[in-house]
Amino acid sequence: MSLTVDSVSKKFGRFPALNGASFVAPQGGFVSLLGPSGSGKTTLLRILGGLEFADSGSVRFADLNWLDMPARTRNAGFVFQQYALFKHMTVADNIAFGLRVRPRRTRPSKAAITDRVKQLLDLVQLPGLEARYPSQLSGGQRQRVAVARALAIEPRMLLLDEPFGALDAKVRKELRSDLRRIHDHTGVTTVFVTHDQEEAFAVADLVAVMKDGRIEQYGAPADVRRNPRTAFVSEFLTA
Amino acid sequence: MSAIGLKLVPLRSRHVLPGFSLSLGFTLFYMTSLMLIPLLALVLRPAGLGLDGFWSAISTPRVLASLRLSFGMALAAAAIDSVFGFIIAWVLVRYRFPGKALLDAVIDLPFALPTAVAGIALSTLYAPNGWIGSLLIAHGIKIAYTPWGVLVAMTFIGLPFTVRTLQPVLSELGLEVEEAAATLGATRLQTIARVVLPMLVPAILTGAAMAFARGAGEYGSIIFIAGNIPAVSEIAPLLIVTKLEQYDYAGAAAIGVVMLAASFVMLLALNGLQSWAAKRR
Amino acid sequence: MKATFRKPTEDPIWLKALLGALAVGFIAILLLLPLVLVFKEALAHGLSAFWAAMVEPDSLAAVRLSLTAAAIAVPLNTLFGISAAWSIAKFDFPGKTFLVTLIDLPFSVSPVVSGLIYVLVFGAQGWFGPRLADYNIHILFALPGIVLATIFVTFPFVARELIPLMMDQGRDEEEAAATLGASGFSTFLRVTLPNIKWGLLYGVLLCNARALGEFGAVSVVSGHIRGVTNTMPLHVELLYNNYDYVGAFAVAALLAMLGLVTLALKSLLEWRYADELAAMHRH
């Protein structure tokens, strides 16, 4: 049940954002896509989430042809850099959203939804904030709600797009270790995008260093650090 | 030159930049003499009638019918403009097609076209022998010279308000919240109904309120197509003009006060809507 | 190659077609058709009939009157707008927000009411009417009344373009000029004016368009004396009510062209000077 990304490519107009990216991650793994802006990491993540379509290549996960499925059916939780919380809904309604839009057959009862929201808020360490609105929360709190909302649907895969980019250093550190803790607790396959190598190396099991739409090197943090395969990788890691 | 600037700094308060009392003074003088004093004349005139006199001037069947027509049709027109305003704003913001810029510019036509021009054009168009009127009369539908003509004219006048209020809000909304809803399993319909529309409600209401306010007070675009039959298709502004022609200044002023009061209420409502919208961000 | 779906934020093709058709159809029928009709009717009896209607003495008189009223009202309102924006943007004083709201008032008042108030002040039963008549000064049913009504309905235009613009631009540059010894007027001319010129032009454009096209307010104060106190819009009404359709639509076409030129210039200004004008959208 591993995640197999095979030669995925995508062009925007004439600009090749992704140029044959490939990697394999075990189920429950924690992968970081690391690279400078323009390296294609966000494009790859969005393709995994169903928000963009690949021009060529394939992705297999959980025995499914991932790219054949629309975003709605993939059950891939996505956390955006700017959180994308529903500002007109309370925290509880935000988190419950994914459960409430399910067709009647698979929709949990109201009581079950309320319980789940409470559990998730506890998990992201925001107990009791059900009735707040996003505008009343700090950046770090909003990000936690975004994570809780993505986890509510019991996703097969958790995708995070520079989730801590808009936050200050101290909050970033807290959230990153929380993210690791949540991952270990839930066991969900996680892919997260960052341009911050310290962050990638601190948190991920596997790091993919990207440049110009390709993965230059892929492996465990320690391996990549010790044996950089290209000049770009070694420069990027020491910068 | 510099002497003039320095001399006009008032003794009581000191300002860094020159010209405060000159600019504020002129501003206040202009507004008071040209706006506030004449408005005062409007408000005071019915006062001469006393409360009873004012009330009887307002509550004749003809006056009430005209107020009902003006405000009622303006409400209906605002509703129509809100629905189509949303559709048009959606198409202009979200879709790409050739000629979009031209379509966008055309929306402002009711703003740019003098009301009398719009009035005679609409009247000719929807008259029984007009391009559209002749098509409808075959089905027994009369527009011109009926209250429906009033509705058409008000819809024409109000459309730019609803579209232009929604457009910036819709484009600012961005696509991320819709993407988020999709990854959480929502269908397109669910996303629009539960995420997009609720976020647009303040802007929709604001546009509707502006269209309503404009329609209720509109004159030139309506009187040609309306029919102007007392108690049937006579709008309140026209009744004011009629009363003036009959030298019934007090009666005209009484209706004018009602319309002015309605304008104030709309202004307050709009301000309220703006701050409600701002709080939700 | 696997199947490609639309992006989750894109509408299905059938919905795009439906909404597109509704939007274009609504705009074409409601907005464009009347405009087309104006020109069609104006030229219904050929170009020579159109021209004859235009140069008819009463029509020319109406054009002259409209231009005169605008030539007085627009500069005065521009002066007001600059003055109001200067005091509001560059200074702090109590009641500032109230003042700004008040400036918007003519926009929410019915045009008929805008004319009515001047009748109540200067009319035969008005406050000053009889007294002024003693001195043979006639405000109503003459140019002054028309100018006053025009001023009332158009005075917010320049002000509400300039106020957010100048507020956005802050006071730094003017304060710098003050420290360098420049007087008020000098500062305004050399420092402020270049910064606001596009917003100013935009406001003047809209003010002028409305001044030439105003109907309701002017109708109440004008007296409708053919060839004397009829502005262009009033003349259109007179011709139309007298069944002179070619005449009415000819003058209407002229006004419509004015409207279209205004629209075009407005779009041009918005497009080229989006940044300078951006302040007005934010407020």
pLDDT, residue C2, reads 42
- Which DSSP state fits B139? T
| Encoded tokens for C271 | 């497009």
CB pairs below 8 Å between B and C: how many? 297
**How long a stretch of residues is chain C?**
283
pLDDT digits (tens, 9 = 90+) for A188-214: 999 999 988 889 999 999 999 999 999
Q: List chain A residues with CB under 8 Å of C2.
A: 58, 65, 67-68
Residues C150-161: b if buried by 16+ CB within 10 A, e if exposed = bbbbbbbbbbbb
For chain C, how many helices (H) and strands (E)?
A: 17, 0
Q: Which is higher by pLDDT, A228 or B281?
A: A228
How does pLDDT run across B68-123, given as a tens digit for each residue?
Answer: 999 999 999 999 999 999 999 999 999 999 989 889 989 999 988 999 999 999 99
ipTM metric: 0.90
- Strand-pair partners of A19: A9
**Residue closest to A22 by CA, chosen among A203, A161, A159, A213:** A213
Is C3 in CB contact (< 8 Å) with chain A?
yes
Alpha carbon distance A178, C138 (integer Å): 81
Residues B118 and C34 sit within 8 Å (Cβ to Cβ): yes
pLDDT class of C187 with cuts at 50, 70, 90: confident
Judged by CB atoms closer than 8 Å, whether chains meet at B263 and C171 is answered as no
- Inform me whether the pLDDT recorded for C182 exceeds 90: no
Amino acid at B154: M
> C240: how many CB neighbours lie within 10 A of its CB?
21
Start-end of H helices in A6-132: 41-49, 71-74, 91-100, 110-123
The string of pLDDT tens digits covering residues A58-83 is 999 888 888 888 888 999 999 998 88
Question: The tokens of C41 are what?
Answer: 């009717």
C-alpha to C-alpha distances, A39 to A21, A72, C178, nearest whole angstrom:
11, 27, 51
pLDDT level of residue B273 (50, 70, 90 thresholds):
confident
Helix (H, G, I), strand (E, B) or coil at B234: coil
Distance CA C255, CA C271 (A): 24
Please judge whether C110 and B216 are an interchain contact, meaning their C-beta atoms are less than 8 angstroms apart. yes
What is the Cα–Cα distance from C142 to C135, expressed in whole angstroms? 15
> Given the structure tokens 């010790």, which residue do they identify?
A226
Most A CBs within 10 Å, among C1, C4, C5, C6, to test the A interface: C5
Q: Which of A48, A74, A97 to mutate to test the interface with B (most CBs of B within 10 A)?
A: A97
Q: What is the pLDDT of residue B46?
A: 81
Per-residue confidence band for C279, with pLDDT thresholds at 50, 70 and 90:
low
Q: Is the pLDDT of residue B174 over 90?
A: no
pLDDT band at residue C275 using 50, 70 and 90 as cut-offs = low
Compute the average pLDDT of residues A155-173: 89
What one-character DSSP code corresponds to residue A66? G
Nearest-angstrom CA–CA distance, C75 and C211: 11
The answer to whether A51 contacts chain C (CB < 8 Å) is yes
- CA atoms of B130 and B161, how far apart (whole Å): 27
User: What three-state secondary structure class fits B12?
Assistant: coil
CA nearest to A50, candidates B185, B73, C113, B149: B185
Is A149's pLDDT higher than 50? yes
Mean pLDDT for the stretch of residues B147-176 = 93
Q: Is the pLDDT of residue A89 over 50?
A: yes
C-beta atoms surrounding C229 within 10 Å: 21
Could you give the C-alpha distances from C26 to B98, C21, C45, in angstroms and in order?
Answer: 18, 8, 30
Task: Please provide the average confidence, as pLDDT, over all residues in chain B.
Answer: 88
Summarize pLDDT for C50-97 with one digit per residue, the tens: 999 989 999 999 999 999 999 999 999 999 999 999 999 888 888 888
Element (H, E) at A224: helix A221-226
Instruction: Please give the average per-residue pLDDT across C226-247, as a whole number.
Output: 92
Task: Assess contact for A74 and A3: CB atoms under 8 A.
Answer: no
- Please tell me which of the candidates A50, A72, A133 has its beta carbon nearest to residue B186: A72
Task: Assess whether pLDDT exceeds 90 at residue C7.
Answer: no
Q: Is B281 on the interface with A (CB under 8 A)?
A: yes
Contact B176, A80 (CB under 8 A): yes
Q: CA C184, C189, C191 angle in degrees (round to 5)?
A: 85
pLDDT band at A166; cut points 50, 70, 90: confident
Which chains share 3+ C-beta pairs under 8 angstroms with B?
A, C
Q: Flag if B182 and A101 touch (Cβ within 8 Å).
A: no
If you write DSSP's letter for every residue of chain B in order, what string do you get? -HHHHHHTS-SSS--SSS-HHHHHHHHHHHHIIIIIHHHHHHHHGGGGGHHHHHHHHH-SHHHHHHHHHHHHHHHHHHHHHHHHHHHHHHHHHH---TTHHHHHHHTTHHHHS-HHHHHHHHHHHHSTTSHHHHHHHTTT---TTSHHHHHHHHHHHHHHHHHHHHHHHHHHH-SHHHHHHHHTT--HHHHIIIIIHHHHHHHHHHHHHHHHHHHHH--HHHHHHH---TTTT--HHHHHHHHHHTT-HHHHHHHHHHHHHHHHHHHHHHHHHHHHHHHT-
Q: How confident is the model at residue B14 (pLDDT cuts 50, 70, 90)?
A: low
Q: Do B95 and C186 touch (CB under 8 A)?
A: no
A interface with B, Cβ–Cβ < 8 A, is 49-51, 71-78, 80, 82, 84-89, 97-98, 101-102, 133, 135, 149-150, 152-153
Within a 10 A sphere around the Cβ of C282, how many other Cβ atoms? 8
Q: How far is CA B179 from the centre of its chain?
A: 35
CA dist list (Å): B99 to B96, B104, C24: 9, 9, 11
Q: Cα B56 to chain center, whole Å?
A: 28
Amino acid, res. A35: G
The residue among B236, B238, B231 whose CA lies nearest residue B255 is B236
CA–CA gap between residue A85 and residue B281 (Å, rounded):
11
Contacts of C249 (CB under 8 A, 6+ apart): B120, C38, C39, C41, C42, C44
> For A115-169, what is the HEC assignment?
HHHHHHHHHCCCCCCCCCCHHHCCHHHHHHHHHHHHHHCCCCEEEEECCCCCCCH
> Number of Cβ pairs closer than 8 Å across A and C?
18
What is the distance between the alpha carbons of residues C225 and A217, in angstroms, rounded to a whole number?
87
- Confidence label for B10 from pLDDT (cuts 50, 70 and 90): very low
Report residue C102 as tokens: 């008040």
Between chains, do C7 and A52 touch, taking CB under 8 Å as contact?
A: yes
Neighbours of B164 (CB within 10 A): 18
Per DSSP bridges, beta strands A64-65 and A56-61 are antiparallel
Read off the DSSP letter of residue C43: T
Is the CB of residue C150 less than 8 Å from the CB of residue C217? Answer: yes
Average pLDDT over every residue of B251-264: 90
In this prediction, residue C73 carries a pLDDT of 96
**Kind of pairing, strands A30-34 and A206-211?**
parallel
Q: Is the confidence at residue A239, as pLDDT, over 70?
A: no
The single-letter DSSP state of residue C30 is I
Pairing label, strands A56-61, A206-211? unpaired
Count CB-CB contacts under 10 A for residue B277: 16
Give yes or no for residue B280 having a pLDDT over 70.
no
